[in-house]
């Protein structure tokens, strides 16, 4: 063997594996943004994802740390093997209808990012109606309002109110320890730990029956158990049933909570409840039977009565 041929062989031995040898460098080179998207969309279409292209793009942007515009404009760029493996795993989980918000661990609510996981309900746009009304009432009241968020879950209501009204002080309760851990993470994230106290409690049992709150809010479990089979699989199979279902009729939580509220509100204090479809009038009747004055029932963007606003009459 000539000296020249020996040197050539030594150089070749130091080269990365090529496509035929199947090494890690070759595996990475096989995947571009375009090929990853094509594969993901095919998987998600087969799984009957409602928006396969959107899901594919959102997950790819998440994995790469890009925005969606960059994903769409850099389709021929290669992605690393590590990114491909992570993306593949997330897409296959999405193909089983796991919510995107749980896959990414985050959901935006009222303009703020929130940590979410399967221990908490994913915040919905409908709940922003309650927050908007709460903020308008708090801002028109005396400074230093004290509020309570019942069944706080991710803490989206308490965090949003405290963030928007720096003079307010809040308490947030939940029966779920897992939910309180998520709420705590969100309070820390938005630097509100010193202004909102978290307590594990079944409804208002931890508070004595005396007036101590100016505002009480609640987005309760209100889905009827009989409606379980009609829910989308990504809700039914992944979101916590403790935060979803309100007994056989969906009214169980309201029936237990409403009698506890009046004694804990100051005179003139407000009680805001989110309602499920078709429940607002029943909630109104329960509230009025306990001595509340129902000021207004607010509709969501679909015209569904969604938020019941009640008030404890001044003495």
Q: pLDDT of 51-75, one tens digit each?
A: 999 999 999 999 999 999 999 999 9
Tell me if domain 14-96 and domain 106-311 are identical in fold.
no
Residue given tokens 């087969």 in the structure block: 46
Contact yes or no for 308/272 (Cβ under 8 A): yes
- Give the start-to-end residue ranges of the domains of the chain: 14-96, 106-311
- Burial of residue 294 (number of CB atoms within 10 Å: 0-12, 13-18, 19+): middle
Q: Is the pLDDT of residue 30 over 80?
A: no
Q: pLDDT of 167-181, one tens digit each?
A: 999 999 999 999 999
pLDDT of 277: 95
Q: If we measure between CA atoms, which residue out of 237, 202, 241, 199 comes closest to residue 221? A: 241
First to last CA, the chain: 106
- Distance (Å, rounded) from C-alpha 270 to C-alpha 264? 11
Contact yes or no for 279/219 (Cβ under 8 A): no
Contact yes or no for 94/52 (Cβ under 8 A): no
Q: pLDDT of 214-261, one tens digit each?
A: 999 999 999 999 999 999 999 999 999 999 999 999 999 999 999 999
Q: Which two tokens stand for residue 276?
A: 């499920």
Contact yes or no for 57/73 (Cβ under 8 A): no
Q: 310 has which bridge partners? A: 271, 294
Q: pLDDT of 7-20, one tens digit each?
A: 333 334 334 333 33
| Cα angle: 40, vertex 43, 45; to 5 degrees | 105
How high does pLDDT run on average in the chain? 91
Q: pLDDT of 182-191, one tens digit each?
A: 999 999 999 9
Count other C-beta atoms under 10 Å from residue 127's C-beta.
22
- This prediction has a pTM of 0.89
Residues 6+ apart with CB under 8 A from 171: 146, 147, 148, 149, 196, 197, 198, 199, 213
Q: Which DSSP string do the residues of 130-155 spell out, in sequence order?
A: HHHHHHHHHHTS-SS-EEEEES-TT-
Q: Domain 14-96: which CATH class? A: mainly alpha
φ/ψ of 66, rounded to 5, equals -105, 175
3-state secondary structure of 75: coil
pLDDT of 202: 97
CA distances from 90 to 87, 99, 111 (A): 5, 10, 25
Q: pLDDT of 132-166, one tens digit each?
A: 999 999 999 888 899 999 999 999 999 999 999 99
Helix spans in the chain (H): 3-13, 24-29, 33-46, 52-64, 68-73, 81-94, 100-104, 127-139, 156-164, 177-189, 233-236, 241-244, 252-261, 280-289
- Distance (Å, rounded) from C-alpha 75 to C-alpha 53? 14
pLDDT of 14: 39
Q: Domain 106-311: which CATH class? A: alpha beta
């Amino acid at each position: 063997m000539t000296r020249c041929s020996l040197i050539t062989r030594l150089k070749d031995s130091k080269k990365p594996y090529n496509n035929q040898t199947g090494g890690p460098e070759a595996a990475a080179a096989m995947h571009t943004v375009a090929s990853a998207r094509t594969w993901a969309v095919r998987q998600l279409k087969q799984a009957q994802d409602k928006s396969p292209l959107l899901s594919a793009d959102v997950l790819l942007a998440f994995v790469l740390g890009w925005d969606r515009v960059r994903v769409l404009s850099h389709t021929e760029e290669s992605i690393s093997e590590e990114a491909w493996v992570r993306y593949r795993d997330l897409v296959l989980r999405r193909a089983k209808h796991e919510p995107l918000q749980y896959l990414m661990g985050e959901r935006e609510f009222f303009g703020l990012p929130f940590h979410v996981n399967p221990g908490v309900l994913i915040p919905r746009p409908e709940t922003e109606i309650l927050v908007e009304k709460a903020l308008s009432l708090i801002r028109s009241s005396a400074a230093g309002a004290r509020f309570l968020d019942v069944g706080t879950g991710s803490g989206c209501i308490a965090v949003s109110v405290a963030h928007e009204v720096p003079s307010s002080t809040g308490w947030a309760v939940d029966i779920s320890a897992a939910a309180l851990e998520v709420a705590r993470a969100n309070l820390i994230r938005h630097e509100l730990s010193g202004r909102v106290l978290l307590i594990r409690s079944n409804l208002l049992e931890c508070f004595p029956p005396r007036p101590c709150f100016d505002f009480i809010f609640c987005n309760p479990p209100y889905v009827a158990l009989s409606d379980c089979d009609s829910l989308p699989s990504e809700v039914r199979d992944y979101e916590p049933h403790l935060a979803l279902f309100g007994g056989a009729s969906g009214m169980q939580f309201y029936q237990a909570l409403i009698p506890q509220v009046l004694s804990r509100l100051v005179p003139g204090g407000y009680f805001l409840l989110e309602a499920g479809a078709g429940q607002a009038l029943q909630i109104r009747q329960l509230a009025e039977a306990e001595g509340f004055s129902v000021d207004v029932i607010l509709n969501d963007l679909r015209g569904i009565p969604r938020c019941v606003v009640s008030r404890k009459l001044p003495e």
